[in-house]
């Protein structure tokens, strides 16, 4: 005959809660340690690289003047690649720190007029008859909109007639939808990782500037508000970023 499972007491639950809190504290400490490593330890050798690069360039140029030729030209090309890579690594570290800060920064939730904020961001949105109020941290919401509008403007800038449009609608009660459409180069949406990892790029570095952290940052900030971010895109046919955001309570 099967014995009944022992009853879980309040003391057992308290012990489990304490263990969970301890594990969470250890995880947070590990996360903070990683941030310190990124902001200090990893940036130190990068600073050395960028500091000595001009001196190395001066030496290479002197050698090239004294002994011009194919080897000197290659040395200058190698140095240019090294300097470009160092600058890119610096931008990647800065964006990674910004992303980590956004994940842990406390949110000051309040009613935010997203229409007024879009107009302040110079977004092409029609004036609304009444305020559209979202439940959001204003700094975080501005960051999300700035990242999405920046992408729309960047990827449509090369078109003969670049267009960016913003539409607000309420598809469900207590839920506002913000659609940011562009007629830019678009991309193959099937290649996109829906987990939104940082440094995910849909275009070649030589075609567009950036390190691939903007959408990851926008996604994580939206997620912290209980909002959703989706992208609809096809190569050569532009992109639409759709935010579904809770209305102000």
CB 198, CB 99: distance < 8 Å: yes
Q: Which H or E run contains 73? A: helix 70-104
Q: What is the pLDDT of residue 26?
A: 64
Q: Which residues have C-beta within 8 Å of that of residue 126, sequence separation ≥ 6?
A: none
**72-103 confidence digits (pLDDT tens):** 788 888 888 888 888 888 888 888 888 888 87
Give the right CATH number for 110-246 from 3.40.50.1370, 3.30.565.10, 3.30.750.24, 3.40.228.10.
3.30.565.10
pLDDT score of 112: 96
Higher pLDDT among residues 219 and 199, named by residue: 219
Give the tens place of pLDDT for each residue, 98-119: 888 887 889 999 999 999 999 8
Residues contacting 182, CB < 8 A, separation 6+: 151, 152, 153, 155, 156, 162, 163, 164, 165, 238, 239, 240
User: How much is the pTM?
Assistant: 0.72
225, 136 Cβ separation under 8 angstroms: yes
Rounded to whole angstroms, how far apart are CA atoms 248 and 241?
21
Exposure class string for 216-249: b at 16+ Cβ within 10 A, else e: bbbbbbbebbebebebebeeeebbbbbbbbebbe
């Amino acid at each position: 005959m099967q014995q009944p499972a022992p009853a879980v007491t309040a003391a057992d639950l308290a012990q489990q809660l304490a263990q969970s809190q301890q594990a969470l504290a250890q995880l947070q400490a590990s996360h903070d340690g990683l941030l310190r490593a990124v902001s200090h330890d990893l940036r130190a050798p990068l600073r050395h690289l960028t500091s000595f690069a001009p001196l190395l360039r001066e030496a290479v140029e002197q050698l090239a003047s004294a002994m011009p030729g194919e080897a000197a030209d290659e040395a200058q090309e190698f140095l240019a690649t090294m300097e470009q890579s160092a600058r890119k690594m610096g931008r990647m570290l800065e964006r990674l720190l910004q992303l980590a800060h956004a994940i842990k920064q406390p949110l000051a939730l309040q009613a935010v007029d997203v229409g007024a904020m879009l107009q302040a961001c110079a977004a092409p949105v029609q004036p609304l008859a009444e305020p559209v109020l979202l439940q959001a941290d204003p700094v975080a919401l501005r960051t999300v909109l700035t990242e999405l509008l920046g992408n729309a403007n960047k990827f449509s800038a090369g078109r003969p007639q670049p267009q960016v449009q913003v539409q607000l609608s309420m598809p469900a009660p207590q839920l506002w939808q913000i659609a940011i459409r562009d007629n830019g180069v678009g991309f193959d949406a099937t290649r996109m990782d829906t987990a939104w990892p940082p440094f995910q790029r849909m275009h070649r570095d030589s075609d567009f500037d950036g390190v691939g952290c903007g959408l990851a940052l926008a996604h994580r900030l939206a997620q912290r508000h209980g909002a959703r971010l989706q992208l609809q895109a096809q190569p050569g046919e532009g992109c639409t970023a759709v935010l579904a955001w809770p209305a102000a309570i």
